[in-house]
Structure 1
Amino acid sequence: MSSRIVVLTGGVGGAKLVLGLMQVHTARDITAIVNTGDDFRHLGLAISPDIDTLLYTLSGKANAAQGWGREGETWSFMDALKSLGGEDWFLLGDGDMALHALRSHMLASGETLSAVTARFAAAWGLDLKILPMSDDSVATHVSTDEGDLPFQRYFVERRCVPAVRAIRFEGAEQARPAPGVVEAINDPETRAILIAPSNPWLSVDPILAVPGMREALQAASAPVVAVSPIVGGQAVKGPTAKLMGELGLAVTNMAIAAHYAGIIDGLLVDERDGGEGLDIPYAVTDTLMKTLDDRARVARAALDLAERIAG
């Protein structure tokens, strides 16, 4: 009987873990449930940044240096847009535009985000399941010292500079998990459910905000293991550490474990921090994922911890 793996993920860091999982486990038995709280309409186009980062990374098309966008991208569209006085704070490369334009067209024709994502994954030869957390619109908004900011305005335009006071997920209460999401979590053949080292507040909480998601994870027979985003008392990438400070939290694995309390059964932590003070099962490894071998090591360590918890 094949064993299945489910992973809840955001963008860059999560995509690295999923790529690692594909090195140590059969791709068709992996389901990635992806944050869509970052999704937004820009220039009339439907943009799904975390889904696209996953698609690009897993198909070998990602810009290796920056971790997002496409390798070998060209910028004729943006140059033309700027010449007309268009907004240029959110960069859309020429190859990237093809994906957004096609997605927008398919959604306007009545297809769901799940169906569109599955078609893109199949077109690029990806065997794993990539599922949006929901086919319904959920939008992350950040309350800051500069007022209320939609996520991309905070993250991209303002580069996370404003101090965060609170975060909310507009539309979450009315949203439903996308087809296959809860089924993957509840599948008796699922041996491990992983939470990627994506930002817990900005990338994972939107997934957990969809009604039924927390309950499914709490009821899951498979162990739920989170990979901590903390490395050496800091976040590897993005605003996690800054955000934790602004929310009055210590940048520690204890704070990460407390945030996921009631959901996770174990935490994979970096060797620079260790697991001191944790009151749940944990394992220690080098969680920095610079190379493909690193990604495979972290994926294997997370699965080994899940196996140990399952007994």
Structure 2
Amino acid sequence: MRITVLAGGVGAAGFLEGLCRAADPADITAICNVGDDFEWHGLHVSPDIDTVIYTLAGLEGELGWGVRGDTLAALGELAELGEEPWFQIGDRDLATHVWRTERLRAGRPLSEVTADLARLRGLALALLPATDDAHPTVVVTPDGPLDFQDYFVRGRASAEVVGVEFPGAGPAAPAPGVLDAISEPDVVIVAPSNPFVSIDPILVVPGVRDALRDTSAPVVAVSPIVGGEAVKGPAAAMMQTLGHEVSALGVARLYTGLVDVFVLDEVDRALSEAVEDLGMRAVVTDTMMTSADRRLALASTVLDAAGGR
């Protein structure tokens, strides 16, 4: 059974960890958002890709990102030299970015570098960036546009979001294997990630949205909104300021025409009928991945909902 997952960061990484126990990791392909990628002191950082790798390798930090127990000696030295330490990168994490950047500067595409990095961390699944091209997410605020990390990390996601733009989407091409991974699997899963800044950056890469719409595989999406609140990150605030209902139903509406099955939490059971009115089958389960057992249970339910088990 071939499984493809459209993935953002922390929420997707947790879901993938459960999925890799519910199914054979060798049958799983994760297509990762690269809209968060940016340059930090000359190094190419891929936050969502790294979060997925660290989580699946059992290295993720206490907050779901970075490396568990990492030290901050390099960051401290940069601060001593007058640099603002607004983006926290630990010393072991830093090695990943040095390793990646060296290979990218040698002319290797991000997809090859990512595959090698995943293999070296002992992962059996296929991990693909949505594109090998520069494809930044830009958050539009009343005071002007912000690069995603300036909004999310430096600004602590406090600015009002009035739009999200992808200036590199037009010339970007799907990374090798991306379109086939969507067109040819037995199941496609949209992970419980922010629809605007994690999933949309994947879908706007030319050809990806069409491939998802046209795939013969069942497409299952898991809501990142539970009880009107985001499980993680600024998704709820973004939905509100962008004019969408802040609910699992609001997320389902964003995926109308793309998704066959929509998974929502037990607390949102009352929304099931409205979700089904959109042409999706609603599946109600516990979506809060607060333990390894709950991650596994959610992944198993999603596969069952897709008829993939």
What is the match of residue 36 of structure 2? 38
SS in 1 for 2:156: coil
1:27 alignment partner AA: P
1:130-145 matches, cutoff 5 A? 130-145=127-142
Q: How many angstroms does 1:146 deviate by?
A: 2.7
What is the match of residue 250 of structure 1? 245
SS in 2 for 1:269: strand
What is the match of residue 16 of structure 1? 14
2:305 alignment partner AA: L
CA contact (8 A) 1:268 1:301 kept: no
Among 189, 193, 206, the residue aligned to 1:194: 189
C-alpha distance after superposition, 1:209-243 (max 9, x if no partner): 00000111111110111000111121111001111
Q: How many angstroms does 1:69 deviate by?
A: 0.3
CA contact (8 A) 1:224 1:265 kept: yes
What is the match of residue 230 of structure 1? 225
Runs of at least 4 residues off by over 6 Å:
none
What is the match of residue 27 of structure 2? 29
Are residue 177 (structure 1) and residue 174 (structure 2) matched? yes
C-alpha distance after superposition, 1:151-174 (max 9, x if no partner): 000000001101011000121111
Q: Which runs of 5+ in 2 are unaligned?
A: none
Q: How many angstroms does 1:282 deviate by?
A: 1.1
| Cα distance in structure 2, aligned partners of 1:146 and 1:296 | 43
SS in 2 for 1:172: coil
What is the match of residue 262 of structure 1? 257
Are residue 286 (structure 1) and residue 274 (structure 2) matched? no
TM-score, normalised to structure 1, is 0.96
| Cα distance in structure 2, aligned partners of 1:134 and 1:160 | 25
Q: Which runs of 5+ in 1 are unaligned?
A: none
What is the match of residue 240 of structure 1? 235
| Cα distance in structure 2, aligned partners of 1:185 and 1:167 | 24
| Cα distance in structure 1, aligned partners of 2:225 and 2:248 | 7
What is the match of residue 89 of structure 2? 92
Among 70, 73, 76, the residue aligned to 1:76: 73
Q: How many angstroms does 1:55 deviate by?
A: 0.6
Give % identity: 48
| Cα distance in structure 2, aligned partners of 1:18 and 1:137 | 25
CA contact (8 A) 2:227 2:247 kept: no
C-alpha distance after superposition, 1:113-151 (max 9, x if no partner): 011111111111100000000001100001112321000
What is the match of residue 296 of structure 2? 296
2:262 alignment partner AA: L
| Cα distance in structure 1, aligned partners of 2:25 and 2:147 | 34
Q: How many angstroms does 1:41 deviate by?
A: 0.8
| Cα distance in structure 2, aligned partners of 1:176 and 1:228 | 28
CA contact (8 A) 2:18 2:297 kept: yes
CA contact (8 A) 1:282 1:305 kept: no
Are residue 214 (structure 1) and residue 209 (structure 2) matched? yes
* Most deviating of 178-187 and 107-116: 178-187
| Cα distance in structure 1, aligned partners of 2:155 and 2:121 | 33
Q: How many residues align?
A: 304
Are residue 56 (structure 1) and residue 54 (structure 2) matched? yes
CA contact (8 A) 1:268 1:282 kept: yes
SS in 2 for 1:277: helix
TM-score, normalised to structure 2, is 0.96
| Cα distance in structure 2, aligned partners of 1:56 and 1:27 | 15
What is the match of residue 144 of structure 2? 147
C-alpha distance after superposition, 1:9-57 (max 9, x if no partner): 0000000111111011000000000000000111111000000000100
SS in 2 for 1:143: strand
SS in 1 for 2:11: helix
| Cα distance in structure 1, aligned partners of 2:232 and 2:209 | 26
| Cα distance in structure 2, aligned partners of 1:78 and 1:71 | 16
Q: How many angstroms does 1:254 deviate by?
A: 2.0
1:206 alignment partner AA: P
1:162 alignment partner AA: A
| Cα distance in structure 2, aligned partners of 1:96 and 1:75 | 10
Q: How many angstroms does 1:75 deviate by?
A: 0.6
| Cα distance in structure 1, aligned partners of 2:22 and 2:241 | 37
Q: How many angstroms does 1:110 deviate by?
A: 0.6
Q: How many angstroms does 1:250 deviate by?
A: 1.3
